[in-house]
Structure 1
Amino acid sequence: MLGAMASDFQRRKISGVFGAMDADGDGFLTESDFRALTARWLDVRGTDAGTPEGERLAAVMMGWWDTLDDAAGHRGRVSLDEVLQVADALPAMPDAVTRTAAAMFEAVDENGDGVISAEEYHRLVTAWSGAETPTDEVFARLDLDGDGRLSRDEFAGHWFEFWAGDDPAAPGSWVFGRV
């Protein structure tokens, strides 16, 4: 099984995100888990699902679900090992990772100003983790040029490092917070 190729570090960082996304705790990601994550993120933002912002966020998250479900065989539920199999294949598919990063950037950039602020990043991590999470130290690691915000290029590079990388020292390994 390809998932067995994942290093201990990859398994640890992806397991943390998987656990946060598995809203019902059944060991699988499903459409309802992605809907719950979307609702949690909207709640953290103080935004209603019926607003243009809410609809955009839901479209990004449900599009990500469709892509993941399709990559795992389109059975309506995805295990951690299947997510790790997908992650193992990502280094050979940088364009797919870049497209996902671009969609996620749009979701995180709440005010549409073309950068992710420390506050927007904080809401991302809090929504994904399901708990209030300090992010100042992590944001400083991700903000490579020290300008107080993440550009599209910075975010895309970090997103790729998280999903396709295996370097614990890479700033992108911290995209979803401390590993």
Structure 2
Amino acid sequence: MTALRDLKYGQWFRGADVDGDGFITERDVRLMSERYIAARGAAPDSATARLLTERMDGFWANVIAPMDRDGDGRVDLREMTEGFRRVLTDPALYPQQVEPVTECFFELVDLDGDGRIDRSEFQLMFDAVAAVPGEDCAAVFAALDLDGSGGLDRAEFHRAVTEFFYGDDPDAPANHLFGRIDR
């Protein structure tokens, strides 16, 4: 199912290429952090902002930067897709590879700090920050809310991110986590 993952990775790439120049750079990762922090309403010097910035810097250094095969300091779609294919092969490695950023992102999205992400919080972060259209947010949120509680707990959120990056199920709702993909 490499084709499905390529589609998902391409969707993620478009959101991560914050400045739209066709590359992901360390600056894009920093801009992504700043967008999350601003949407959260956190002060740039707050503990939450510092933690997210630190984890996103680690994500750049440990996951994205090593994909830069030609050493030009930027990662294009081909390099990123090939890199994700090489690195994101085993969901058992999720705790080291993706979970630290996801955990921090969960904290940012959970605006009221109740330990779950409700639909309005999900929509705010994914629509305003990741440029996922509102109608896509609503449909994805409903599909990810496995227990129908009206909120995503940490386990549901981590399950969705794991499925997005590692999964091959063409019908998994998490495929559209960062915007609807066309198959």
TM-score by length of 1: 0.81
2:76 counterpart residue number = 79
Aligned pairs, how many?
Answer: 174
1:60 to 52, 55, 73: 55
In 1, the alpha carbon distance for the partners of 2:60 and 2:83 equals 13
- Following TM superposition, by how much is the alpha carbon of 1:178 offset from its aligned partner in structure 2, in angstroms? 2.3
Alpha-carbon RMSD? 2.5
1:15-164 pair list within 5 angstroms: 15-73=10-68, 75=71, 76-90=73-87, 92-99=89-96, 100-110=98-108, 111-130=112-131, 133-134=134-135, 135-164=137-166
Identical-residue share of aligned pairs (%) = 32
Distance 1:109 1:119, change over 3 A: farther
Give the aligned residue type for 2:175. S
1:178 to 173, 177, 180: 180
The one-letter code of the counterpart of 1:145 is: D
> Structure 1 residues 93, 166: closer, same or farther in 2, change over 3 A?
closer
Give 1:154 deviation, angstroms.
1.6
Distance 2:166 2:14 in 1: 18
Structure 2 segments unaligned to the other structure (5+ residues): none
Deviation at 1:139, TM superposition (A): 0.4
Question: Measured at CA, do residues 52 and 67 of structure 1 come closer, stay the same or move farther in structure 2, by a change above 3 Å?
Answer: same
Q: 2:7 matched to which residue of 1?
A: 12
Cα offsets for 1:44-75 (capped at 9, x unmatched): 22222111221122122222111223431584
- Conserved 8 A contact 1:109-1:116: no
Q: Distance in 1 between matches of 2:121 and 2:52?
A: 13
